[in-house]
Copies of this chain bind each other. A is one copy, B any other.
Amino acid sequence: MKEVAYNEYANKALDLLSQGAFLTTAHDGKVNTMTIGWGSIGNIWGKPVFMVMVRHSRYTYELIEKSGEFTVSLPFHDMKKKLNFCGSKSGREVDKITVMEITTAPGQKTSTPVIADCGLTYECKIVYRQAMDATTLDPDYNQRWYGQGDYHTLYYGEIVACYTND
């Protein structure tokens, strides 16, 4: 494990993100991970920030609203089977981490576990959150992604640890 600057792997992180990453949350002894493909990395409020998006229907939404933190784990090798499972099943119905035999590790700077076999990890503490406002979203995007009205809340997490297993 090697600590890296939050932006050192930003180009690779954005490439990997579009192929699927693990967003992990934990609260009150419950740990869940879901697959995400969207997000951003930035310098905001003078801090390194990873922004993730969670639809209100998700089990992750229940957890992240209470936990106030999250981790993002980006696989450097093929984890498609696990990613597909974690992107299609709900943590309300199945313990995805156990069923898929996903190895977690404790967070270095957060109380949220990380996915152990991933090449790149961000640990984040939420400093800002905001539910999307449909009225100021491009109508084409709105129709394409939110036909069911299941909007995202955007979570801006200060990156408190960033490391690679490269």
List the interface of chain A (C-beta within 8 A of B): 6-11, 13-15, 17-18, 37-46, 49, 51, 53, 127-130, 132-133, 136-138, 141, 144-145
Contact = CB atoms under 8 A, between A and B. Distances in A.
A145 B53 CA distance: 24
Nearest to A47: B141
This protein's copies in its complex:
2
Judged by DSSP, the binding face of A is mixed
A164 B41 CA distance: 20
Contacts of A133: 130
B51 A40 contact: yes
Contacts of A128: 132, 136-138, 141
B51 A42 contact: yes
A148 to B, nearest CB: 15
A161 to B, nearest CB: 17
A53 B43 contact: no
Nearest to A49: B40
Nearest to A125: B138
Residue from A41, A43, A51, A144 whose CB has the most chain B CB atoms within 10 Å: A43
Contact of A8 (B11, B40, B51, B53): B11
19 contacts: A6-B14, A7-B11, A8-B11, A9-B11, A10-B10, A10-B11, A14-B41, A38-B42, A39-B44, A40-B49, A42-B42, A42-B51, A45-B145, A127-B141, A128-B136, A128-B141, A130-B130, A130-B132, A130-B136
